[in-house]
Structure 1
Amino acid sequence: MSTGDVDTGDAATRDVDTGTDLLYSEVEVDLRAAVRSLLTDRGDLPAALARAESGAPYDTALWTSLAAGIGAAGLLVPEALGGQGASHREAAVVLEELGRAVTPAPYLTSSVIATQTLLALSAGGAGGETVPAVAEVLRALAGGRTVAVLALPLSTGPDGPLPTVTAGAGGAIRAVADATIADVLLVLADDGLYAVETAAPGVTVRAQTPLDLTRPLATVTVDAAALAAGTRLADASPGPGPGGAEAAVRHGLLAGAGLLASEQLGLAERCLEETVRHTRERHQFNRSIGSFQALKHRMAHLWLEVVSARAAARNAADALATGSRDAPLAVAVAQAYCGKVAVHAAEECVQLHGGVGMTWEHPAHLYLKRAKSDEIALGSTGSHRERVASLTALPAPGRRSPA
């Protein structure tokens, strides 16, 4: 269904006070068209459902076309390292389209989170040159030849505790997203950040049963020998560059949380569009059910939520792209709002499709499961609300300000 079926209200995304333009640029519009065309051409729902049921939802040919063919994997990588030298705004557009199609692809985990983590280390060499080991991984990621995943639970937020393994003993990390398709794992140990190949001896990736069948989770176990054989990219001391493993990881998680809002936006938009389409076509009492006032009110309310979610998601992407000092606040606001909107849109999609919306053959359940999974990914909605309160010096929801 085309976006022309629902007025998306882009004019609401211009910040009059700051002059920040959150409208889509011509480049972003062209990129959206290319990604949507690719996903539409490869959009085989029965095959996608079959792959999801099998526990191996990825379409490797599709990922190759997206990552290498279109060049989406290298959007955030500088041209000097083989990337496109684009910004978070362009990456956000890709994630919107992936969210619309609930595409099983490691774009968020590899091309955003892992890439941004590595970029935070890339200028830490002597004299400011790129660290060779980091540059090598970034070039492989930009070319779509390698998938890298940060070995942390999907629920880990930018400001939350960071689970680590012990360098001398190794350890296990649960609920790592897209680890089953990763070539390289970025493992945070107590003495630094390591790049470890998933095929290396001493590395085990055991699939878990996820709620969202399109974003598999796994338990990753890395022993001490595997860490020793890997490449230490950064040590555990604070600060930027090669001495800032934790800072780099948090940088990657912040970018991931901010752009996750765009995935949630795309999902919510598609759910609204499909709901509007269905209620136009479905008739009861010789009338389109979309003409019933109660359903009109529900869809109008959802449309307002989606418009607001677009403003929040675009603001977060723009703040990350420009390196704004308010980026942490913009990300927290986007995640505090967009997660709930995506879940609401998916719930309405299931309910307003009636009986067919409850069937396994209809894609509505994939949207609902992705929305529920995204709601707790990279920090829960509640944790982001508390972060907003902390950054703005306001009482957190449900808490009374001190007397």
Structure 2
Amino acid sequence: MTEELLETADEQDLRSGVRDMLAAECPWQSVLSFASGGGDAYDQKLWRTVATGMGLAGLLVPEAQGGAGAQWRAAAVVVEELGRAVAPVPYLSSAVVATTALGAVGEPELLGRLASGELTAALAVPYGLWSAPPLLSVSDGLANGAVRGVADALGAGLLLVPAEDGLYAVDGAAVRRTRVASLDETRPLCDLEFADAPARRVASLEAVPCALRSAATLVAAEQVGVASWCLDTTVAYLKERYQFGRPVGSFQALKHRLADLWVELTQARAVVAYAVADLSSGGDDASVAASLAKIVGSEVAVRAAEECVQMHGGIGFTWEHPAHLYLKRAKATAVAFGSPDRHRARLATLVDLPLEAS
């Protein structure tokens, strides 16, 4: 099993290609400019490069529908690198979550448009929910109701909405969207209001838990990317920063903190790799592995981002340094698709742990 978790040569090439592209097309200065603007739903130029230029939007779409027919491991590599760059694109929401929900029943026309990057989609559930109860009522093909705090829905052309009798597809243009304040400006949230919006049933509600399980697993891969950037950047800075005539990184207390962080990140990477592999194989442990990955991914991302801010000293607390972008992404994704505490409670039920005696 250990060998199965190691990256293949193709996956290493994919990682290298995505990282090089992001270094050229998505430097932190452009991310900061996007976050400061506060207007666009996502970086459209970067999305065209990711989705069309590199063909990454269709990784999880079968070849028969115009996609690459790749495995979850390839998608996890892309998500991790996008997290490492805090790239403001709807890849996780559209190319992973929405595609998974549609792929369960095979919507060839919609999947083809998602694979090409022509269309982006979002699952209309609050960003912090792990389970998604029916949130709207649909009668005679018309959807009514409201969903609060949905990620990447502001610019989505298609919304997938859970209702009492299934999952419905709604044209984004038929929905009133109101942007709301969010901690992470690179992944905006919005409220959705449906008033007699035309809706078409595309799947049963069973598609939603599958999509959310994949979301929890892949967002953990994103968190590993966030943490790895924070660790690498902090180590590089402490080698260059001098105090009392010595590199700051030579101080034992800081070395110990970074060593502990490296161990935590290495463990998190292994846990996420196992969860992704289990997702790919359809193993019995997929739900357990997803919750475990979300727990460790969330905690290492927040820890790494906090250490990054603190160890950069005064500059780390300023708007001109990118550390705050990573801290915000880490904090926001920690509660996305279920907080660590919610997943711990879920994990306890999955492995049949007894309730603590009162």
TM bin (shorter chain):
over 0.9
User: Which of the numbers 342, 348, 351 marks the counterpart of 2:301?
Assistant: 342
Which secondary structure state, in structure 2, belongs to the residue aligned with residue 21 of structure 1?
helix
Secondary structure of 1:73's aligned partner: coil
Contact 2:31 2:86 in 1 (8 A): no
> Match for residue 244 of structure 2?
285
Partner of 1:274: 233
* Alignment partner, residue 118 of structure 2: 145
Residue in structure 2 matched with residue 84 of structure 1 by the alignment:
68
> In structure 2, what is the Cα distance between the partners aligned to 1:47 and 1:80?
36
274-283 vs 181-190, greater mean Cα deviation:
181-190
Match of 1:372 among 324, 331, 353: 331
CA distance in 2, matches of 1:273, 1:166: 48
Distance 2:102 2:20 in 1: 30
State the partner residue of 1:310: 269
Q: Partner of 2:5: helix, strand, or coil?
A: coil
CA distance in 1, matches of 2:193, 2:229: 37
Q: Which amino acid is 2:136 matched to?
A: V
Task: Quote the offset at 1:27 in angstroms.
Answer: 1.1
Contact 2:132/2:208 (CA < 8 Å) preserved in 1? no
Matched-pair contact (CA < 8 Å) for 2:134–2:164: no
Cα shift readout 1:342-387 (whole Å, capped 9, x = no counterpart): 0000000000000000001111001000000010000110111122
CA contact (8 A) 1:358 1:365 kept: yes
Indicate if the aligned counterparts of 2:138 and 2:199 stay in contact, CA closer than 8 A: no
Are 1:41 and 2:13 counterparts?
no
Partner Cα separation in structure 1 for residue 41 and residue 194 of structure 2: 25
Output the amino acid matched with 2:8. Answer: S
| Aligned-residue identity in percent | 49
How far apart, in 2, do the equivalents of 1:57 and 1:139 lie? 22
**Distance apart, 1:401 and its partner CA:** 5.3
Amino acid of the structure 2 residue aligned with 1:180: L
Q: Does 1:233 align with 2:212?
A: no
Shift of 1:257: 0.6
1:166–1:189: 8 Å Cα contact kept in structure 2? yes
User: Counterparts of 1:289 and 1:394 in 2: how far apart (Å)?
Assistant: 45
Change (3 A) 1:86 1:188: same
List structure 1 segments (4+ residues) > 6 angstroms apart after TM superposition: none
Does 1:110 find its partner at 2:94?
A: yes
Q: How many residues align?
A: 354
How far the C-alpha of 1:336 sits from its partner, in A, is: 1.4
CA contact (8 A) 1:117 1:249 kept: yes
Match for 1:92: what amino acid? A
Task: Find 2:133's aligned residue among 133, 157, 162.
Answer: 162
Q: Which residue does the alignment assign to 2:6? A: 23
> Taking structure 2 as the reference length, what is the TM-score of the superposition?
0.96
Alpha-carbon distance between aligned partners in 1 of 2:310 and 2:54, rounded to the nearest angstrom? 36
2:176 maps to 1:204: yes
SS in 1 for 2:138: coil
Equivalent-residue separation in structure 1 for 2:335 and 2:219 (angstroms): 11
Render the CA deviation track for 1:208-229: whole Å, top value 9, x for unaligned.
11001110000011112x1xx2
Unaligned runs of 5+ in 1: 1-13, 123-133, 235-243
Deviates more, 1:38-47 or 1:138-147: 38-47
Instruction: Specify the code of the residue in structure 2 equivalent to 1:334.
Output: A
Shift of 1:281: 0.4
Letter in 2 for 1:141: L
Deviation at 1:308, TM superposition (A): 0.3
Gap runs ≥5 in structure 2: none
TM-score, normalising length from structure 1? Answer: 0.85
2:22 aligned partner, one-letter code? L
Q: Secondary structure at the match of 1:72?
A: coil
Q: Tell me the SS of whatever aligns to 2:353.
A: coil
Query: 1:257 maps to which residue?
Result: 216
Over residues 254-284 of structure 1, what are the superposed CA-to-partner deviations in whole Å (9 max), with x where a residue is unaligned? Answer: 1111111100001101100001001100000
CA contact (8 A) 2:179 2:189 kept: yes
SS at match of 1:180: coil
Counterpart of 2:150 (choices 176, 182, 195) is 176
Q: Is the 8 A contact 1:152 1:163 kept in 2?
A: no
2:70 match: secondary structure? coil
Partner residue of 2:35 out of 45, 52, 64: 52
Secondary structure in 2 aligned to 1:66?
A: helix
Q: Is the 8 A contact 1:57 1:213 kept in 2?
A: no
Partner of 1:331: 290
Q: Which residue of 2 aligns with 1:9?
A: none
Selected match of 1:72 from 56, 67, 74: 56
User: C-alpha separation between the residues in 2 aligned to 1:109 and 1:41?
Assistant: 23
Code of the aligned partner of 2:183: L
CA contact (8 A) 2:125 2:132 kept: no
AA of the residue aligned to 2:181? T
- Tell me by how many angstroms 1:57 deviates: 6.1
Deviation of 1:185 (Å): 0.6
In structure 1, what is the Cα distance between the partners aligned to 2:349 and 2:162?
A: 27
